[in-house]
Amino acid sequence: MAGEGGVTTLEAAMNATARAVERVLNALIPEVDGPEKRLFSAMRYAALAGGKRLRPFIVLSSADLFGVSKERAMRVAAALECIHTYSLIHDDLPCMDNADLRRGQPTVHLAYDEATAVLAGDALLTLAFEIVSDEKTHSDPRVRCDLVRALASAAGPQGMVGGQMIDLESEHKTLDIGGVTRLQQMKTGALISFAAEAGAIMGRVSADKRQSLRAYAHDLGLAFQIVDDLLDASGDAAEVGKDVGKDAESGKATFVTILGLDRARQQAELLTDQAIQHLDIFGESADLLRSAARFVIHRRL
Ligand code: GRG
């Protein structure tokens, strides 16, 4: 971090992105009257509940690198946040993590009921593809198709959902560091990779630039997850805004249980530095993405 001024600038930029994405989500998930009112209400409860909006910030920063219009990038950011929110709702369900608290408020199945939580998650997942495939997101149908494919692949069986399945099964077996790394790349890393690549897809840039962003996101995603494990092991629920101590309770292998607190933190710092180095080819124009990496390592929630 470039000192206090750097922190303030990053905080201001992240807050501005968060407010902007919330305005877009507010419009895309309207309050409705009539029989489906409860579904929309639960979707809004989850999607508009705050959160760091890190993935939207990465989408916007990557789009900015290639001169993609903010309005278009914001739609992709909102779609990605819909998928992220769906994953949190479903992950919190009694059949998965059985969590009571998310983003500092009762989880959707507690505030509403289990069936509504399942449907709100389903609806956010499908809404994401409706948003991305709309002409307003990009005039070129090949770009829209590329976005849909990349998003589906990041969220699906070889990405987030596959990682979640491996995670659930890991309660009954012991994963080594390679196993935990693969699981986390799929469960958490894949959506972060999509966020970083989205700008390159919308900007129709060369394969080497896209590859550099992918390498950045690969290391950033792992650093993000290690910090998440550190917060679960030593964070405070009120500060973090969700239940903590879940990993130790479940007996699952994590970066912290395998490496210990100190080595896990060192590894997260190393990965963050590596992520930043992958941005060298972009020069100063990638400063926002560099800031996002520094945010990940310093985050407290
Ligand atoms: C149920 C299909 C399905 C997938 C669940 C991502 C995931 C897979 C579960 C979330 C559980 C979890 C705590 C994962 C660790 C990393 C992570 C995604 C944390 C939450 O993301 P943040 O910190 O949350 O960006 P906010 O609230 O800031 O948006």
> Of all protein residues, whose CA lies closest to atom 10 belonging to ligand 1?
88
Any ligand 1 atom below 6 A from CB of 91: yes
| pTM exceeds cut of 0.85 | yes
C-alpha of residue 130 to centroid of ligand 1, in Å: 22
Span between the terminal Cα atoms of the chain, in Å? 18
pLDDT tens-digit map of 240-291: 666 666 776 777 889 999 999 999 999 999 999 999 999 999 999 999 999 9
pLDDT of residue 11: 86
pLDDT for residue 237: 64
Write down the pLDDT at residue 1: 37
Phi, psi of 105 (to 5 degrees): -135, 165
Instruction: Judge if the beta carbon of residue 185 lies within 6 A of ligand 1.
Output: no
Ligand 1 center–CA 174 separation, angstroms: 22
CB crowding 115-140: b at 16 or more within 10 Å, else e = ebbbbbbebbbebbbebbbeeebbee
Q: How far apart are CA 159 and CA 226, in angstroms?
A: 18
Q: Which residue owns the Cα nearest ligand 1 atom 14?
A: 188
90 Cβ closer than 6 Å to some ligand 1 atom: yes
Determine the pLDDT at residue 298: 86
Q: Which of 232, 190, 233 is nearest to 214 (CA)?
A: 190
CA 26 to centroid of ligand 1, rounded, Å: 21
Those residues whose C-beta lies under 8 Å from the C-beta of residue 214, and which sit 6 or more positions away, are 193, 196, 197
CA angle, residues 217, 124, 143, in degrees to nearest 5 = 55
State how far the Cα of 243 lies from the Cα of 235, in Å rounded to an integer: 10
Distance between CA 52 and CA 301 in Å, rounded? 8
Distance 99 CA to ligand 1 centre (A): 12
* Residue whose CA is at the smallest distance from ligand 1 atom 18: 188
Output the tens digit of pLDDT for each of the chain's 301 residues: 344 455 668 889 999 999 999 999 999 999 999 999 999 999 999 999 989 999 999 999 999 999 999 999 999 999 999 999 999 999 999 999 999 999 999 999 999 999 999 999 999 999 999 999 999 999 999 999 999 999 999 999 999 999 999 999 988 788 999 999 999 999 999 999 999 999 999 999 999 999 999 999 999 999 999 999 999 888 666 666 666 667 767 778 899 999 999 999 999 999 999 999 999 999 999 999 999 999 889 887 6
Structure tokens at 153: 């692949």
Determine the distance separating the centroid of ligand 1 and the alpha carbon of 210, expressed in angstroms: 25
Ligand 1 mutation pick, 101, 228, 298, max ligand atoms within 8 A of CB: 228
Please give the single-letter amino acid code of residue 154: A
Predicted confidence (pLDDT) per residue in 1-10, tens digit: 344 455 668 8
User: Which uninterrupted H or E stretch holds 260?
Assistant: none
Residues present in the chain in total: 301
Q: Are strands 105-106 and 101-102 parallel, antiparallel or unpaired?
A: antiparallel
